Structure formats: C-alpha cells, structure tokens
Amino acid sequence: MGERERFLERRRLDKELRPFRQAGKDKNPTNGLLRAVRKALGVPLAEIAAKMGVGGSMVYDFEARELSGSLKMNSMARVADALGCKMVYGIVPTDGQTLEELAAERLWKKVMEDRRRKSRESGKGNREQERPSLAQRLASTPDDPVRLEELGDGGTGDLGTGDLGTRDLGTEVAGAPALGGGGG
C-alpha cells in the first residue's frame, strides 16, 4: 500500500472510528457488557440459551469469560445476536488520538531517531548544547516568512528540516504538507 493510500485509509478509519475514540477516552469502560445489556433489556438467560441452542450455564459461562477477557469474538457476536443486538468493535489509538495523529507521531519519532543516529555516527552529538534551539532561532528571525530549511539544525535534533530536506518528509506523509514550504 502506497503512502497516498495509507493516508486515505487513515482518514476513512478515523471518521468511522470516531465514536470508539470517544468511548476509549473513558477511564472506566463498561465491564461485562453482555451481562449489562442482557439485564438492561430484561432478557432471561434461558431465552438467550434457547436462541443459541446451548444450556443456560453456557450463557453464564460466556458472560464470565467476557469479564476475564477470554471470550472469543465469534461467541460474543453469537450472544449479541441472541440479545437482538450486533457486536461491533474498534481499535483506536490511546488517549483519543486519531490514526492520522498517531501516524504523524510515529513518523516524527523515526525521523528524530534517524537524525540522532546519524549525528552520533558523524561525531556531531556534542554540538547539540552549543547551538541555539529552534525556538530561539525562530524568535531571532525577522518578520519575513520563515523557511525552516534555511534555519537548519546542524544536528541538534530540533524540528527544523536541516539536512533532511522537504523531499524526505513529503514522501513519508502523503497528503500532509512537507516542512520547508513544499507541498506533499
């Protein structure tokens, strides 16, 4: 899958999984969802067991295994169906982030790790303390439009593009603007 396709798929999934991200922000999500839904609907164990073709103790076992995290998804879907419900699930980044935010975070970590590794390999690791930070350099730059690639970071690991150039980042994050003023 190319970068453009990944970008479009992340956007589609972010839209589809939005309610799940909201639910994922809760500190105490509902434990024992099968039992909670069954009780909220007032459905007796025997009715669910009859619809599933199993004994009542098996339904109780399904509810217990859900609590312990050992219930298989197909079993959970069968119980949900017997309740007149549909099981849906979502996989979302922690802290309510979008997939796009998580992908960008992963990219920046990789870029920064690569830069640190290259800096160590070239013996420039100690220059970090000698150079002003990106924020200091931006603050001392006139009000003219700032081109980050002109600021360069000289191996400090700041967020300027330095020797990375815009081409490298532009190919990594399709659809997102590359640093340094170029398009993605």
> Collapsing DSSP states into helix, strand and coil, what is residue 81?
helix
Q: Which domain holds residue 134?
A: 97-172
Place of tokens 């330095």: 162
Mean of pLDDT values over 140-163: 46
161 and 117 in a common domain: yes
Residue 176 pLDDT exceeds 70: no
Q: Has residue 73 been placed in a domain?
A: yes
pLDDT at 174: 45
162 and 107 in a common domain: yes
Place of tokens 């800096």: 119
Quote the CA–CA distance of 147 and 88 in Å, as a whole number.
Answer: 46
Q: CB-side exposure of 109: number of CA atoms within 13 Å?
A: 6
Q: How many CB atoms lie within 10 A of CB 84?
A: 10
What's the pLDDT band for 28 if we cut at 50, 70, 90? low
DSSP character for 146? P
pLDDT at 10: 92
Q: Has residue 6 been placed in a domain?
A: no
Q: Has residue 180 been placed in a domain?
A: no
Give residue-wise pLDDT tens across range 30-72.
Answer: 778 999 999 999 999 999 999 999 998 999 999 999 999 899 9
Q: How many domains in the chain?
A: 2
Q: Has residue 184 been placed in a domain?
A: no
Mean of pLDDT values over 135-154: 50
Residue 82 pLDDT exceeds 90: yes
Q: Has residue 144 been placed in a domain?
A: yes
Give residue-wise pLDDT tens across range 90-118.
Answer: 888 887 789 999 999 999 999 999 999 99
Give residue-wise pLDDT tens across range 120-137.
Answer: 888 765 555 556 655 565
